Structure 1
Amino acid sequence: SFTGAVADRVGAFEAANGGTLFLDEVGELPIDVQPALLRALESGEIQRVGETESRKVKVRIVAATNRELEVEARSGRFREDLYYRLAVVKLGVPPLRQRPEDIPVLADHFAAAAGLPNLPPEALAQLERQAWPGNARELRNAVQAFVAIGALPGEGAQNAGELEAAIKKLLDVERPYAELKELFLQRFTKVYLEALLARTGGNQSEAARISGLDRSYVGKMLGRYGVSKP
């Protein structure tokens, strides 16, 4: 039964018609919702919410999970028929701790997405020494933290209380989160650049080497944040 529909909406299957639909964490799908997915996979048909008419779709399914779905199916926590419908081709991705050679590639990718072209060698070395039980998501969070505050999680933990106290003094929770985050990032970047130039005596090439950034990018940032040589 369905109540409250006011307009048709295109769902994920219909939007992906003729292409590929990625189902992330499919092992978390509630058991009572799994029959609907199975019907769509078996029949190639879906129904929009609030409609009785079926629509044909042709979709390639790629599903991911961190659970052992075969074990989940045997224990009754995942439908066995749905498991076998999904498990046409199975690819196992080893945890990040078993492929440390991927860490620098992923870390630089996450850093670039956060606005930092390259991570300093020292930061990369520290990242490679960690086990990453949370895999790529945990690594991404650590890199984003480095871009924001210039330190990896756990680094300088003895000063964490002082840092948090300083941040709280500057917080204005009446302002939007995104606006405050951008303000903090701008302030951090300006202070970092000033300290970096002071450390190198104004030598931009040395500043680029220490920071792990391209020299041209350092120059652009200095201009953007109004930082001049000491």
Structure 2
Amino acid sequence: LAHTSSTLFSEENCQLLQHIADRIAIAVGNADAWRSMTDLQESLQQENHQLSEQLLSNLGVGDIIYQSQAMEDLLQQVDIVAKSDSTVLICGETGTGKEVIARAIHQLSPRRDKPLVKINCAAIPASLLESELFGHDKGAFTGAINTHRGRFEIADGGTLFLDEIGDLPLELQPKLLRVLQEREIERLGGSRTIPVNVRVIAATNRDLWQMVEDRQFRSDLFYRLNVFPLELPPLRDRPEDIPLLAKHFTQKMARHMNRAIDAIPTEALRQLMSWDWPGNVRELENVIERAVLLTRGNNLNLHLNVRQSRLLPTLNEDSALRSSMAQLLHPTTPENDEEERQRIVQVLRETNGIVAGPRGAATRLGMKRTTLLSRMQRLGISVREVL
């Protein structure tokens, strides 16, 4: 254009080009504004997600409802590992509360004021999971019109909860292993290394060791995740927790539905403690929700269908039920603690310090041996001192 004749473009041509240039400038400006708005929207969505997760993560160990020794032992391990930055692998059947334990670990950790970010490895297609975990740069693939931060970047300084880790595709496992080893990521389509300071908690209901044997899960990744394993007990192995959980869920559902339900019949509790609960705590919560919906009155009207009526073969003893109901009817207070302590000490003396067996203190007190040992530990009772 610099070497063309000045007569090549007329005044009309120049005006037309000026109009075109103005329109192009407006289009470019609109594109920039749209990109900025898109980035802001994504940032706000991520912030909203983080705040929602933070509200949920404020549940600590004190909010977990239990009275069984199995859960007491588990939560002691939670308290120990929470204070470190070690990777945790939570194993347990569906519905046992793996996410609740992960949130408790985060809330008890030094990272409690930073985000807790969750991703379900089974809920996202393999083609999208890499971008969700590690992010992508603009232009990394068709449709990648903006840079996207992955969950590792969002969780920087905090905790990343990898739920259903057993469903992580094999092709992504080396990349996750590298992040755990090097503490740095590369976005999809990018070449820049980004350091991340993230504590990883993984959870699964699958047998990862068997998957390693079957070459469905990398052994090096398994060992990297299995630094501090936690095994969650199924609900059928801690029936003494069922009355407390049932009462909690009943109150929660009744409050939500504006119902006045203030009692659970003894027979209903007996039924609840007799099922094997393949869906564990989540299934119990669903059963209670249905019962609250169908209840007309102040007493919970329990409905258990045939599919659910699988009795536990070993639950012929009523001691766990009596013990759990006593806990419901007589909440723990200093006065109750002292009365209970004196009663346990007296029975231990009468049985010459024998705890288990048909003539032991546990049987006479109407509770399981593990429950009695837990009470003795809590109340500071030693058999040696009693005798």
TM-score range, shorter chain: 0.5 to 0.7
In 2: Cα distance, 1:128 partner to 1:17 partner? 43
Question: Match of 2:303, as an amino acid?
Answer: L
Does the 8 Å CA contact 2:247/2:264 hold for their aligned counterparts? no
Give the total of aligned pairs.
156
Q: CA deviation at 1:54?
A: 2.6
Alignment of 1:6-155 (within 5 A): 6-116=145-255, 120-122=264-266, 123-150=268-295, 151-154=302-305
In 2: Cα distance, 1:113 partner to 1:50 partner? 47
In structure 1, the residue corresponding to 2:145 is in which secondary structure?
coil
Does the 8 Å CA contact 1:8/1:48 hold for their aligned counterparts? no
In structure 1, the residue corresponding to 2:292 is in which secondary structure?
helix
Going from structure 1 to structure 2, the CA distance change for 1:6 and 1:68 (only over 3 Å counts) comes to same
Question: CA offsets per residue over residues 167-204 of structure 1, 9 Å max, x none?
Answer: xxxxxxxxxxxxxxxxxxxxxxxxxxxxxxxxxxxxxx
Runs of 4+ in 1 over 6 A off after TM superposition: none
In structure 2, the residue corresponding to 1:64 is in which secondary structure?
strand
Does the 8 Å CA contact 1:22/1:61 hold for their aligned counterparts? yes
In 1: Cα distance, 2:263 partner to 2:151 partner? 37
Going from structure 1 to structure 2, the CA distance change for 1:72 and 1:148 (only over 3 Å counts) comes to same
Does the 8 Å CA contact 1:3/1:50 hold for their aligned counterparts? no
Does the 8 Å CA contact 1:46/1:57 hold for their aligned counterparts? yes
Alignment RMSD: 2.6
**Aligned residue for 1:180?**
none
In structure 2, the residue corresponding to 1:103 is in which secondary structure?
helix
Going from structure 1 to structure 2, the CA distance change for 1:141 and 1:49 (only over 3 Å counts) comes to farther
Larger Rg: 2
**Aligned residue for 2:365?**
none
Return the TM-score normalized by structure 1.
Answer: 0.58
Q: CA deviation at 1:109?
A: 3.9
Question: Match of 1:86, as an amino acid?
Answer: L
Does the 8 Å CA contact 2:277/2:284 hold for their aligned counterparts? yes
Q: CA deviation at 1:52?
A: 3.2
Q: CA deviation at 1:50?
A: 4.5
- Where structure 2 has 5 or more consecutive residues not aligned to the other structure, the ranges are 1-139, 256-260, 296-301, 309-387
Does the 8 Å CA contact 2:208/2:217 hold for their aligned counterparts? yes
Return the TM-score normalized by structure 2.
Answer: 0.36
